């Protein structure tokens, strides 16, 4: 496909992703109050278990509106993940044969639960992280948490875990498109494991190593699963040629 057609296709897919996010953001705008309560629950749990006064603080006049827009877009990214993942795959799959596209659709079906599974894992880690960080507040004092900083931290954590779980599926699709071979993935496995543990260490600000291992292990397993699928695909292609 010529470069101009690639750019046209990219613009088309980006527009469709944006349109889907707008629709999802409208739902997020209407559900803002219960969604905000859900996102701030780890903060309230930490305050109640440690018997400390911890509350959100809106520091600027425009902060409530800005946060409402961000929270709405956050929900949009989650609920429309099948839509925007499909658009990403649709941009990649023109390079695949008709037979290989059927596999790509199967990988898309696995990418959605993986993204949501990564987001769920982040939500499991979040209360522990907030509780640990809140424990440093001295007794007899109050903590006003900047609402912008807290909610940005929560949303980035959830989305980062979701994307991390989808990356191995993207590697498989790139392998099917002939861009990445299994030898490349095999040579980079040490870096992949290292990056998985670095990601887990940064994203789980808890002092115990067990939580870091529990977060990094699924990412490593998914990488090696992608390597196995790429190896199978490359061998199959070699036998046909």
- What pLDDT is attached to residue 94? 64
- What pLDDT is attached to residue 205? 61
Name the residue with tokens 């959605």.
112
Q: Find the helix packing angle between 3-30 and 32-39, rounded to 10°.
A: 90
- Give the span between the Cα atoms of 240 and 201, in whole angstroms: 44
Q: Which domain holds residue 57?
A: 3-240
pLDDT tens for the 241 residues of the chain, in order: 566 777 788 888 889 999 999 999 999 999 999 999 999 998 888 888 888 888 888 888 888 899 999 999 999 999 998 888 888 877 776 655 666 566 667 777 888 899 999 899 889 888 888 888 788 878 777 788 888 888 888 888 888 888 888 888 888 877 877 778 888 888 888 998 998 888 888 877 666 676 778 788 888 998 999 889 888 888 887 787 6
Number of domains in the chain: 1
Secondary structure of 54-85 in the HEC alphabet? EEEECCCCCHHHHHHHHHHHHHHHHHCHHHHH
What tokens were used for 194?
A: 């290292």
- Per cent of the chain over pLDDT 90 is 20
- What pLDDT is attached to residue 99? 62
**Residues in a beta bridge with 181:** none
Radius of gyration of the chain (CA): 21
Name the residue with tokens 């701030």.
40
- What pLDDT is attached to residue 135? 80
- What pLDDT is attached to residue 23? 93
Residue 216 backbone dihedrals phi, psi, to 5 degrees: -75, -35
pTM of this prediction?
A: 0.79
- What pLDDT is attached to residue 206? 61
- What pLDDT is attached to residue 103? 64
- Give the span between the Cα atoms of 114 and 169, in whole angstroms: 9
Task: List, in sequence order, the alpha helices (H) in 140-179.
Answer: 147-176
- Give the span between the Cα atoms of 19 and 87, in whole angstroms: 11
- What pLDDT is attached to residue 3? 64
Tally of CA atoms within 13 A in the half-sphere of 60 that contains its CB = 7
């Amino acid at each position: 496909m010529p470069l101009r057609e690639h750019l046209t296709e990219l613009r088309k897919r980006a527009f469709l992703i944006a349109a889907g996010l707008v629709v999802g953001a409208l739902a997020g705008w209407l559900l803002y109050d219960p969604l905000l309560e859900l996102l701030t629950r780890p903060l309230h749990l930490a305050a109640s278990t440690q018997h400390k006064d911890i509350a959100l603080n809106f520091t600027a006049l425009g902060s409530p509106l800005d946060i409402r827009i961000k929270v709405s877009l956050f929900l949009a990214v989650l609920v429309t993940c099948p839509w925007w993942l499909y658009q990403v795959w649709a941009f990649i799959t023109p390079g695949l044969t008709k037979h290989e596209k059927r596999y790509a659709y199967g990988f898309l079906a696995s990418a959605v639960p993986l993204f949501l599974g990564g987001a769920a894992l982040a939500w499991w880690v979040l209360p522990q992280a907030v509780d640990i960080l809140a424990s440093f507040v001295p007794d007899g004092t109050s903590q006003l948490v900047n609402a912008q900083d807290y909610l940005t931290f929560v949303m980035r954590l959830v989305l980062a875990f979701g994307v991390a779980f989808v990356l191995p599926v993207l590697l498989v699709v790139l392998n099917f498109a002939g861009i990445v071979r299994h030898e490349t993935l095999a040579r980079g496995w040490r870096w992949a494991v290292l990056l998985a543990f670095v990601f887990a260490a940064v994203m789980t600000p808890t002092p115990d190593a067990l939580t870091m291992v529990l977060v990094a292990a699924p990412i490593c397993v998914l990488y090696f699963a992608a390597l196995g699928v790429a190896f199978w695909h490359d061998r199959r292609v070699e036998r046909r040629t």
